[in-house]
Amino acid sequence: MYVQRETAEREDSGWRFFAGDEDEAYIARKEHHGVYDVNTIVNYDPTILPFIDLDIGSALERDDAGDFVVLRQ
């Protein structure tokens, strides 16, 4: 899983969540995207919660053990 925080669009949190194996062609298709409340995402994966207040520009990735590693903050 790859996660990054961008400047919010509309009224979202700015967080973008990816499986990590998407190619640019997949990402370019709007039907592959959805806007969800960040609380919904945290309910699916509570390990995201400690990172939710990181600044815009932050990025995380899961390591081989399944733990999040901060790539940039």
Res. 12: pLDDT tops 90:
no
Q: What pTM did the predictor assign?
A: 0.83
Q: Tokens representing 17?
A: 């969540």
Q: How confident is the model at residue 72 (pLDDT cuts 50, 70, 90)?
A: very high
Per-residue pLDDT tens for 19-57? 989 999 999 999 998 889 999 999 999 999 999 999 999
Of 9 and 41, which is predicted with more confidence? 41
CA 50 to chain centre: 13
* Alpha carbons 70 and 50: distance in angstroms, whole number: 11
First-to-last alpha carbon distance for the chain, in angstroms, is 17
